[in-house]
Amino acid sequence: MKLSQFKAHLSTLSKMEFKLPSGETVAPHYHITEVGKISKAFIDCGGKYREESKVSLQLYIAEDFDHRLSAAKTKAIVEGCETKLALDDLEVEVEYQGRTIEKYGLRAMEGGFEMTSTQTDCLAKDGCGIEKPKVKLSEIGKSEAYCDPNSNCC
């Protein structure tokens, strides 16, 4: 989800929630402790130089159980950071504490946002020696799909 889509969806919400891929809802007293622009320059395993940037929101659960952020307040926080951080219309990722700091994508849902799982990937499959798995023609159509078409994993 791009930053413009995130803000547009916030404008349609009176209250909001974040839902984890497990279906569990983030505790309603979460804080947004960081709004950031994360830029990464790297060389992939095929030797190609790449750059990527994202807008990062960090959700934090504190012990102040009465705390609530409205959609309007969340939008104001983000908009207050746009100029200072020179935020372009980048993909938004959410950091949330699990067993370690976990990173999620976002998808709009009724009443808030669904946090979508992110996956590591090889960006140079054609040049780094990772072979594609071989599938027997006789097996095509017999096995279950590896992921749900709506899961955003492929």
pTM score above 0.85: no
**Domain assignment of residue 154, yes or no:** no
* Residue 150 pLDDT level (bands cut at 50, 70, 90): low
**Domain assignment of residue 43, yes or no:** yes
**Domain assignment of residue 121, yes or no:** yes
Per the structure, the count of domains in the chain is: 1
Which three-class secondary structure state does DSSP give residue 74? helix
Nearest to 74 by CA among 128, 143, 16, 140: 16
What is the bridge-based pairing of β-strands 30-43 and 112-117?
unpaired
pLDDT by residue (tens digit) across 117-133?
Answer: 999 988 888 877 777 77
**Domain assignment of residue 150, yes or no:** no
**Domain assignment of residue 65, yes or no:** yes
Domain membership of residue 33 as a residue range: 3-139
**Domain assignment of residue 144, yes or no:** no
**Domain assignment of residue 39, yes or no:** yes
Structure confidence at residue 110 (pLDDT)? 95
Quick check: 153 pLDDT over 70? Answer: no
Quick check: 146 pLDDT over 80? Answer: no
pLDDT by residue (tens digit) across 87-111?
Answer: 999 999 999 998 899 999 999 999 9
Spell out the long-range contacts of 66-70 with Cβ–Cβ below 8 A and sequence spacing 24 or more. Answer: 66/29, 67/29, 67/30, 67/31, 68/15, 68/28, 68/29, 69/16, 69/30, 69/31, 69/32, 70/14, 70/15, 70/16
Mean pLDDT value across the chain: 90
